[in-house]
Structure 1
Amino acid sequence: MDKRKLTQLVDDTLNSMDDAGRAAPAPFLLTRIMAKKDNMAVNAASMWERVSAVIGRPVIAFPVIALVLLVNFFIIRSAMSSGKPYPAEYSKVSSDDYSLSNATSLFDYENGQR
């Protein structure tokens, strides 16, 4: 391409934005957006929003937490009084079965040789 033609093409490209103006929103656009958002928030409260609003109240939240703690307490207490082995005892049983607690050595102590 010729250098003059390239320069003319660059100048035409740069001058093409001379007539461009700033973009302007439609009248009352922000007002319409805010009204639509408020209308959707009032009319479309989902079930989870309503449930979280009820559960989030301290009058409901504290008794629910107390109930969960009481249920956990009674479950742990019944497990302790049932006489079933605890997980620590399970690991002890398996280590006894496989002789994992006994020390193993490469030396034969009964032979007396070293």
Structure 2
Amino acid sequence: MEQIAVGDGAADVAMLMGVLEAHGFDPVATDRHSGLTLSNLSQAIGGVRVLVRAGQAGEAGELLTALGMPVWSRPSWRTMVFFAFAWWLAHVPPPGLGSALVLRPRTGNETQLADP
């Protein structure tokens, strides 16, 4: 099952389920107050979370968007890992730029700090 979050707080759940079922989807509405997470943006603004079979979330989202309902879909874990890695790379200075710790072997000519 894939999850899409639908609505802006004004969506009628029965109508929403009827539309999806009429177009061949097998939706399951879930309680919008269970498991509120950052990726479920529409729950935070009063929407309804809907589960559809794997592979149907995109088609169901397109249908509901065509009907004028705002739809958010949860990105896959691969997408989230990719963007987390890209964010990390964006904050790592490339070689030769930025500050870096350079280790050099001792030559014996270093000046010693005197103890007071």
Structure 1 and Structure 2 fold alike (TM over 0.5): no
TM-score (normalised: structure 1): 0.27
TM-score (normalised: structure 2): 0.27
Q: Whose strand fraction is larger, Structure 1's or Structure 2's?
A: 2
Higher relative contact order (CA 8 A, sep 6+): 2
Q: Whose helix fraction is larger, Structure 1's or Structure 2's?
A: 1
- The structure whose Rg is larger is 1
